Structure 1
Amino acid sequence: MSRSFGFFSFLVFSLFSFVSSNDLQVLLNIKSSLLDSNPGVLDSWKLNSVSGHCSFTGVTCDSTSSVTEIDLSRQGLSGQFPFASLCDLKSLEKLSLGFNSLSGTIPSDMNNCTNLTYLDLGNNLFSGTFPEFSSLSHLQHLYLNNSAFSGVFPWKSLRNAKGLVVLSLGDNPFDTTPFPEEVVSLKSLTWLYLSNCSITGQIPPAIGDLTELRNLEISDSDLTGEIPPEIVKLTKLRQLELYNNSLTGKFPRGFGSLTNLTRLDASMNYLEGDLTELRSLTNLVSLQLFENKLSGEIPHEFGEFEDLVNLSLYTNNLTGPLPQKLGSVSDFDFIDASENQLTGPIPPDMCKRGKMKDLLLLQNNLTGSIPESYSNCLTLERFRVSDNSLNGTVPAGLWGLPRVEIIDLTVNNFEGPITADVKNAKMLGTLYLAFNKFSDDLPDEIGDAEALTKVELNDNRFSGKIPSSIGKLKRLSSLKMQSNGFSGNIPASIGSCSMLSDLNMAQNSLSGEIPHTLGSLPTLNALNLSDNKLSGRIPESLSSLRLSLLDLSNNMLSGRVPQSLSSYKGSFDGNPGLCSMTIKSFNRCINSSGSHRDTRVFVLCIVFGLMILLASLVFYLYLKKSEKKEKRTLRRESWSIKSFRRMSFTEDDIIDSIKEENLIGRGGCGDVYRVVLGDGKELAVKHIRSSSTDSFTRKNFSSAMPILDEKEGRSKEFETEVQTLSSIRHLNVVKLYCSITSNDSSLLVYEYLPNGSLWDKLHSCKKSNLGWETRYDIALGAAKGLEYLHHGYERPVIHRDVKSSNILLDESFKPRIADFGLAKILQTNNGGLDSTHVVAGTYGYIAPEYGYASKVNEKCDVYSFGVVVMELVTGKKPIEAEFGESKDIVNWVSNNLKSKESVMEIVDKKIGEMYREDAIKMLRVAILCTARQPGLRPTMRSVVQMIEDAEPCRLMGIVISKESDVKSK
């Protein structure tokens, strides 16, 4: 008997040893496959481990030492995981690899892991389709979200997984499919995440059968129809996410029975009706219903919700007052009820608990004054109540809140002063007070709010002198003070505001001379000092500025108009004391040497002019024959001009310059010419022909011109788009001066950028050895240009063709965003998403989702910008033979992130050793910008902040001032 027992024990021990040895070998195979990409992560996985493989990091065994769980989530793993041998772990029940950077495809062998109950592959970088998994009948948790799976998902495999508790498939570009019926048969589900995975059609009534659901997320899809009434059966729901679909109708009757709901987001749909069904949802923490068609009043019960901290109802048709008890019993954090028809006062207690960050009530019909309680709201970051009928004085403490970043009170009836408390507003970046009745002096303490970037005080009743302390605002980019009662001198200290691009002090009572320090503002783009009492001479220093707008009219200026400013026609009218030798409407300037010298100068001018005329005639005859055909073509057309900026030239000046010797490039839809005006100013002109009979020599070129489809050149859409884009004013966006059009062609007149494009300097025969500081400045400037297009304009402008050849460089290598031929003005009623039937852009720069979904939003530009940054850091083109077939720079960079040494190796060798760490910081920004999933990419506003944070140490100790990251509404 004892001999038999001993033999049995030997067999069991041998079997356990065999199983243990086999599991150990599988684990070591996994380590060897990942070792090169992930040094250090699996150090504990050793053959001679004293405690055996069951002590390996992330490994759990049962009593027989068989591996039952592998949890390597959030370990920074990359490379390809060896799934093929994984199912040799016969007892494996849990595999968790979420939140890594694993890549490659999933083999069909995964179907052999039949004991799996928990599978998490979410938040990785896999590719291809997910295989059929009908054998995994024991699955309870399946996480595949945000892992770049594509193609057809095997929905039928869910029929054998009846025990699923969690199904998370969202944020994958699967093939479009109606709402899968297999999903609504999973009666045990508590968590269902199908957002952004190409689900279409209507939400099926059978959704009401999933009565165990706590979380239901089906946002960012193409769902239509109404919310099914059966949804009211899901009484255990805590979170319901339906945003960014095309749902219609009202909240179904009985929706208020979902009293366990803490988060409800049905924003960006077409829902209508009132909110009465929501007044019993007393456990709500966050309610997001913005951009719908909801109407009626906001239920007063919302003011009694003890947990409600986020309320976003903007862009609806809501009426009546805001609940006056709103926030009084909760740690209220955020409200945006802008763009409605709300009336009555601002609720006084939304910051009662001292937690509120954002109060946004723009564009309503609110009345009354700002409650005094908000002057003590120390957490407040944004306070925006513009376009209402509010009145009274602003509580003094509001001006000096320590965390406030934007105060927007525009278009109301506020009165009284800005108080000295503003000195405490150390984070205030934007101060919008235009079109009110504010009065009194501007306090000296405004200079202590050193984060200010934009100040708009226009159309008020301010008076007194402009304080010299305003020169302390080193980050100030826009200062608008027109239509007030300011008097005294313009402070010379304003010349210290080195970031200033727009200065408007028109229609005041300013006197004294124009300070010459204004000419030292390197970024000044617009200067308006008209309708004041300024006297003295126009400073010669203004000649150094490159202004798109200069208006000094209706003052008391005297003396000579500087020769270089004479092209600004109309800018000096109403100054009878001015004289000029070139502006005909002014008196000629009399030289102090007397008339005899004037006569000699006049004679010399005549002789010199005749010589020029003779030389010009000879030159004209020489060229006449060669340009005869082109001239005849242009002249027989009837031209009309639309100007978008102040111009010193006429249409004849441009048309006469469209000749062969001025040609600098040819493209698929027209030619590009360099035009030099009589005053030496250079322009770039694109001649776009719409006739299909014209033929050109096709070759690549870089210019400041948009690329347009031939038919688009004559369409209304072209006219509208050019008109819209022409109103853009930003230092880092190329200037469009005018369009000159005929029935058959168009001329677009741009500023000329002498250093060509970034592509030229990095990749072409014209490339130069750009230092890192220059590359950094180019990246920052281009980012600010895109930030303005996305956030600083009336509606977001999506470029759609961001690339290094569309980033042009001026004589100082300052960048300009150019080529808006593919740009889209994003409509406000589409939730930030626009569709197109043609994938626009350039191969190597196109965001992956644009290729498979033809959907475009700001994140497509962010991706393309990330590629440009990779070009700057690596010196490589977006597509290189060394990357391999079907690979681009994004894949190449991703595959070289194995170690610090390999990362250093991809940095351009032309970047000095002392700057290589700085270049790596920028590479991190580029990697974030090129995230495969759009939702993981930062906004351009955040990109600008990250680039500023990555600023290199300047050899000469020069530091660029950082603009504050002002949040938009």
Structure 2
Amino acid sequence: MLALLFLFLLFLSPPPILSVNQEGLYLLRFKHGLSDPNQSLSSWNDNDETPCNWFGISCETPALPRVTSVNLTGLELAGPFSSSICRLPFLSFLSLNNNSINTSIPADISDCQRLQHLDLAQNFLSGSIPDSLSEIPYLRYLDLSGNSITGGIPASFGKFRHLENLILLDNFLNGTIPRELGNISSLREFHLAYNPLSPGPLPSELGNLTNLEVLWLTGCNLVGQIPASLGRLTRLQNLDLSINRLSGSIPSSLTGLKDIIQIEFYNNSLSGKLPPGLSNLTTLRRFDASMNQLTGTIPSELCELPLGSLNLFENRFEGTLPESIARSPNLYELKLFNNKLSGELPRELGKNSPLESLDISYNAFYGGIPETLCEKGKLQDLILIYNSFSGKIPTSLGKCQSLRRVRLRNNKLSGTVPEKFWGLPHVYLFELAENSFSGPISGKISGAYNLSNLLISNNQFSGSMPHELGHLGNLDEFSGNDNKLTGQIPASFVKLGQLSKLDLSDNELSGEIPLSGKIPSQIGSLSGLNYLDLSSNAFSGKIPLELQNLKLNVLNLSNNQLSGELPALYANENYRDSFVGNPGLCGDLPDLCPRVSTGKNLGYLWILRSIFILAAIVFLVGVVGFYWKYRTFKKNKKGIGMSKWRSFHKLSFSEFEISGCLNEDSVIGIGASGKVYKVALSNGEEVAVKKLWKGTRKDDSSDELGKFEVEVETLGKIRHKNIVRLLCCCNSGDCKLLVYEFMPNGSLGDLLHSNKRSLLNWPRRYKIALDAAEGLSYLHNDCVPPIVHRDVKSNNILLDSEFGAKVADFGVAKVANGVSKGVETMSAIAGSCGYIAPEYGYTLRVNEKSDTYSFGVVILELVTGRLPVDPEFGEKDLVKWVCTTLDQKATADHVIDPILDPKHKEEIERVLEIGLLCTSPLPINRPPMRKVVKLLQEAGPDNKSRSARKDGKLSPYYYEDGSVQRKEDGSGQASIV
């Protein structure tokens, strides 16, 4: 009976409450110290008996539920790193890669005694590396890259006995490389690149690391010579000592690196000759000793290797290119530009190898171009500019369908260009300028449907221009000046909607109706044209009024046979030089064309009459001006004085008109630095006026006013077609005004994120991106001193009547910082929300690469049509949303603006890739704006580029086939990396 009662009571009692084991409690404590915006760790709770089924957690076996691995990579976790996780007694793998951990590495991390793999890369870690890390006895993999760690590399690291991967690149480490690292005999990879170390030598003790496979020390401030002891690293595959200050000769001992695949020595101060014995390096695919001070010749034995890439440009080599280089079976890229090489190219170059890129610019090569360059049908880039090549272009190149860039400028080439060579389907840059070519432009050029730049100036081309030129819908620039072209401009030119530059000066062009020897009136329909030079020809007839429809930066119609009156837009002194040398051309410009005289007395009478009329005008203007000045002065006693105005362009209005028009009805925008007004002037012109916010009394000090004057004077000197012009400014202490040209289509941001978005089709968006990139590139590279915009965003990119883009508000954030310190907005500091580069949050450093990041966000806006910060993204911004979507969906269809025409998808995807490159988390990986311009120019239809990837073993960057990507080309521009 008692047994039955016990069983009954047991049945009625509640089941026992299960709780997670001790390891789970340690993990929960670790979780509670972190911010988890995406709820990635939502499965971590105390309802499970063990944490083995939690996200990111792995256990030894089901039978032994002991936690051995914690992998929380890329979850956007934030907060401190807690060493409580080291209480897991069997933990061997820990990865927090690509999160936002923002404290220093705790000293008690050594409690993780069983840890073999520790990855804390791509976080916001600061402070120094604790010495105690070396007390983790079984550690094999340590990655602290992409943080803000300072201090030196602990000498205690020499105590590691099992460490195989030591990855510390892209931090702020200082000090020098400790020689004790030579004691880590197990080390296979050592990555220290891009750290601002103190100037110091490369320790010879590293030659003891006989298991080393990768030594990546780019940009580590190394000085002195390359140790000969590195020749003992017989397992080394990648040796990268580029961008340092190493000197002396290349040790001959390096020829013993029997497994070497890549050697990078570029951008040092190495001297002497290349060492003998390079033929021993039978596995070598890439050798780059560019930008040094090497002398002598290229050893023939080097050319006998099956090289994937040979780059020796910008050295001081002298001598010829050996014939044996043509026998290299795997040679696909040969770049030897910027040297003093001479002689003829090997006659069989390209015959036995799938040559893709040949760039030997800026040397002294002579002789003919080899017939075999495209024997394998792979050649894409043929760049021979600034040499002394002679003879004809081989007919075999007319069959080279793979060509994309042809640059033969400044040689001694002659003869007719092969017909098929004109019509290569994938060529987008065709440059034959400054040679002695003759004959006509072939009608076969219609086959070059990708052609963007046709540069054939300074030759002896003759005959009429074929009407097929009008079929080149992507043509942006046609420079055919200084030739012997005859006939008329083909009527088909009006179809060239993308044409921005047309230079046909110094030819023999003329003709009859339908153009009647005239400049065709239809030329006014080329809305993108901003450079037109038809000077020194034989054009006749009147200047078509349609030219006034163009937004021309350059117009030159001088030295022709034009007649009639000037179009009203051009009938002023600013365009005098554009029309001189046309005997029958008349207008309101004195002496532009001959005047008919009726006698000497009549001439005197005319002169006297003119004097009296001029005197009367001056008097009236003086009276009116005095009255206006007095009235304005009375109206604005405490306002703006004449002495406070500064003009940067020739103005057609009085500055005093501005102050009377600044009323609230004319406000068109309010920003962090002030209000913007649209002002309609009495002469019919419209300008935009920014009135900066008033500051404190300290801001009005003479020092601050002087700073304002200096900075604004710098901005006023800027002249670029993609920069909004600063016309004049006023600084009266109480009031600071900036007067800009007015942009009728407003800002890109307002148009792109409104119901007018449909006006921005893809060709317009692409042109806007390119225009803005060129403007920023000008600020970064061509201004002295360089100007960092600091607030690049779509609202600061303004659009003219033809949707041409101009960058605005450059430098004003800096000016505003001096006059509105009380305004606590990100725009007044260094950017706007959603556009700020990630490094600003922990370094407070803003430079050109910060602008590049912000511009990348603008590209993503153009591609997606979305705002940089949108509630739909949750805690993400546009950059993270695009990256996450692409990772999850594996296709760009889910991020491209759905209103864009699908026929442009390929081009849109290439521009999207550029935007992602610009928004790289690491500043070092972002291209300069000059390169961004080049990439956008090359992102035309069907211009497919090979994608680069970062390889864990053979850093830094490789193609999918394992070959290395070049960082520069003959134009001096950095390539995408």
Judge same fold: TM > 0.5, yes or no: yes
Q: Which moved more, 1:663-672 or 1:277-286?
A: 663-672
Q: 1:785 aligns with which of 771, 775, 793?
A: 771
Deviation per CA, 1:897-943, whole angstroms, max 9, x where unpaired? 89999xx9x999xx99999999x999997565333212444676897
Q: CA 1:915–1:949 in structure 2 vs 1: closer, same or farther (change >3 Å)?
A: farther
Counterpart amino acid of residue 556 in structure 2: D
Counterpart residue number, 2:586:
579
Q: CA 1:850–1:484 in structure 2 vs 1: closer, same or farther (change >3 Å)?
A: farther
1:22-33 alignment, distance < 5 Å = none
How far 1:221 sits from its partner (Å)? 2.2
Matched, 1:139 2:128: no
Deviation per CA, 1:422-469, whole angstroms, max 9, x where unpaired? 365222111111110011010111121111111110000000111111
Q: 2:799 aligns with which of 800, 809, 815?
A: 809
- The answer to whether the 8 Å contact 1:269/1:291 transfers is yes
Q: 1:562 aligns with which of 556, 560, 567?
A: 567
- The answer to whether the 8 Å contact 1:400/1:423 transfers is no
How far 1:41 sits from its partner (Å)? 12
Instruction: Determine the C-alpha separation between the residues in 1 that align with 2:619 and 2:930.
Output: 56
How far 1:477 sits from its partner (Å)? 1.1
Q: CA 1:21–1:666 in structure 2 vs 1: closer, same or farther (change >3 Å)?
A: closer
- The answer to whether the 8 Å contact 2:507/2:536 transfers is yes
Counterpart residue number, 1:530:
535
How far 1:856 sits from its partner (Å)? 8.3
Counterpart amino acid of residue 149 in structure 2: S
Counterpart residue number, 1:344:
343
Counterpart residue number, 2:553:
548
Counterpart amino acid of residue 932 in structure 1: P
- The answer to whether the 8 Å contact 1:54/1:65 transfers is no
Q: 1:753 aligns with which of 743, 760, 773?
A: 743
Counterpart residue number, 1:192:
190
Counterpart residue number, 2:464:
465
Instruction: Determine the C-alpha separation between the residues in 1 that align with 2:299 and 2:251.
Output: 17
Instruction: Determine the C-alpha separation between the residues in 2 that align with 1:48 and 1:667.
Output: 57
Counterpart residue number, 1:475:
474
1:718-757 alignment, distance < 5 Å = 726=719, 728=720, 732-734=722-724, 751-754=741-744, 757=747
Per the alignment, in what secondary structure is the counterpart of residue 422 of structure 1?
Answer: helix
Per the alignment, in what secondary structure is the counterpart of residue 287 of structure 1?
Answer: strand
- The answer to whether the 8 Å contact 1:683/1:751 transfers is yes
Instruction: Determine the C-alpha separation between the residues in 2 that align with 1:738 and 1:968.
Output: 41
Instruction: Determine the C-alpha separation between the residues in 2 that align with 1:265 and 1:778.
Output: 42
Counterpart residue number, 1:930:
919
Counterpart residue number, 2:178:
180
Counterpart residue number, 1:269:
268
Counterpart amino acid of residue 264 in structure 2: D
How far 1:782 sits from its partner (Å)? 4.7
1:33-432 alignment, distance < 5 Å = 37=38, 53=52, 59=58, 61=60, 65-67=64-66, 69-70=68-69, 72=71, 77-79=75-77, 86-95=85-94, 108=106, 110-122=109-121, 124-129=122-127, 132=130, 133-134=132-133, 136-152=135-151, 155=154, 158-171=157-170, 173-202=171-200, 203-252=202-251, 254-276=253-275, 279-283=278-282, 284-306=284-306, 308-422=307-421, 425-432=424-431
Counterpart residue number, 1:622:
631
Per the alignment, in what secondary structure is the counterpart of residue 311 of structure 1?
Answer: strand
Q: CA 1:68–1:399 in structure 2 vs 1: closer, same or farther (change >3 Å)?
A: farther
Instruction: Determine the C-alpha separation between the residues in 1 that align with 2:426 and 2:206.
Output: 48
1:619-658 alignment, distance < 5 Å = 619=628, 622-623=631-632, 633=643, 651=650
How far 1:335 sits from its partner (Å)? 1.9
Instruction: Determine the C-alpha separation between the residues in 2 that align with 1:549 and 1:101.
Output: 52
Instruction: Determine the C-alpha separation between the residues in 2 that align with 1:623 and 1:793.
Output: 37
Per the alignment, in what secondary structure is the counterpart of residue 134 of structure 1?
Answer: helix
Q: CA 1:499–1:822 in structure 2 vs 1: closer, same or farther (change >3 Å)?
A: same
Per the alignment, in what secondary structure is the counterpart of residue 445 of structure 2?
Answer: helix
- The answer to whether the 8 Å contact 1:778/1:815 transfers is no
Deviation per CA, 1:534-584, whole angstroms, max 9, x where unpaired? 122211111100111111111112222211222322211222222224565
Instruction: Determine the C-alpha separation between the residues in 2 that align with 1:351 and 1:914.
Output: 42
How far 1:668 sits from its partner (Å)? 13
Per the alignment, in what secondary structure is the counterpart of residue 263 of structure 2?
Answer: strand
- The answer to whether the 8 Å contact 1:799/1:822 transfers is no
- The answer to whether the 8 Å contact 1:253/1:277 transfers is yes
Instruction: Determine the C-alpha separation between the residues in 1 that align with 2:596 and 2:102.
Output: 78
Q: Which moved more, 1:371-380 or 1:548-557?
A: 371-380
Counterpart residue number, 2:958:
none
Instruction: Determine the C-alpha separation between the residues in 1 that align with 2:543 and 2:809.
Output: 36
Instruction: Determine the C-alpha separation between the residues in 1 that align with 2:756 and 2:935.
Output: 22
Deviation per CA, 1:667-715, whole angstroms, max 9, x where unpaired? 9999999999998566789999xxxx998699x9xxxxxx98655678x
Counterpart residue number, 2:855:
865
How far 1:76 sits from its partner (Å)? 6.0
Per the alignment, in what secondary structure is the counterpart of residue 785 of structure 1?
Answer: helix
- The answer to whether the 8 Å contact 1:440/1:461 transfers is yes
Instruction: Determine the C-alpha separation between the residues in 1 that align with 2:840 and 2:326.
Output: 41
- The answer to whether the 8 Å contact 1:513/1:535 transfers is yes
Instruction: Determine the C-alpha separation between the residues in 1 that align with 2:430 and 2:260.
Output: 38
Instruction: Determine the C-alpha separation between the residues in 2 that align with 1:487 and 1:711.
Output: 52
Q: CA 1:30–1:788 in structure 2 vs 1: closer, same or farther (change >3 Å)?
A: same
How far 1:617 sits from its partner (Å)? 7.5
Instruction: Determine the C-alpha separation between the residues in 2 that align with 1:776 and 1:200.
Output: 49
How far 1:67 sits from its partner (Å)? 4.5
Instruction: Determine the C-alpha separation between the residues in 2 that align with 1:913 and 1:428.
Output: 30
Instruction: Determine the C-alpha separation between the residues in 2 that align with 1:481 and 1:418.
Output: 15
How far 1:106 sits from its partner (Å)? 7.5
Counterpart amino acid of residue 919 in structure 2: T
Q: CA 1:770–1:226 in structure 2 vs 1: closer, same or farther (change >3 Å)?
A: farther
Deviation per CA, 1:115-153, whole angstroms, max 9, x where unpaired? 11223344x445445763437533342242544353447
Q: CA 1:339–1:126 in structure 2 vs 1: closer, same or farther (change >3 Å)?
A: same
Q: CA 1:924–1:513 in structure 2 vs 1: closer, same or farther (change >3 Å)?
A: closer
Counterpart amino acid of residue 792 in structure 2: K
Deviation per CA, 1:800-852, whole angstroms, max 9, x where unpaired? 215136423324553212466599xxxxxxxxxxxxxxx99547656455787
Counterpart residue number, 1:957:
none
Per the alignment, in what secondary structure is the counterpart of residue 576 of structure 2?
Answer: coil
Instruction: Determine the C-alpha separation between the residues in 1 that align with 2:780 and 2:365.
Output: 23
Q: CA 1:757–1:898 in structure 2 vs 1: closer, same or farther (change >3 Å)?
A: closer
Counterpart residue number, 1:597:
none
Counterpart amino acid of residue 470 in structure 1: L
Count of residue correspondences = 859
CA RMSD of aligned residues (A): 5.8
Instruction: Determine the C-alpha separation between the residues in 2 that align with 1:87 and 1:159.
Output: 23
Per the alignment, in what secondary structure is the counterpart of residue 406 of structure 2?
Answer: strand
Instruction: Determine the C-alpha separation between the residues in 1 that align with 2:887 and 2:228.
Output: 54
Q: CA 1:19–1:696 in structure 2 vs 1: closer, same or farther (change >3 Å)?
A: closer
Counterpart amino acid of residue 196 in structure 1: Y
Per the alignment, in what secondary structure is the counterpart of residue 431 of structure 1?
Answer: strand
How far 1:333 sits from its partner (Å)? 1.9
Counterpart amino acid of residue 247 in structure 1: L
How far 1:518 sits from its partner (Å)? 1.4
Q: CA 1:259–1:843 in structure 2 vs 1: closer, same or farther (change >3 Å)?
A: same
1:496-515 alignment, distance < 5 Å = 496-511=495-510, 512-515=517-520
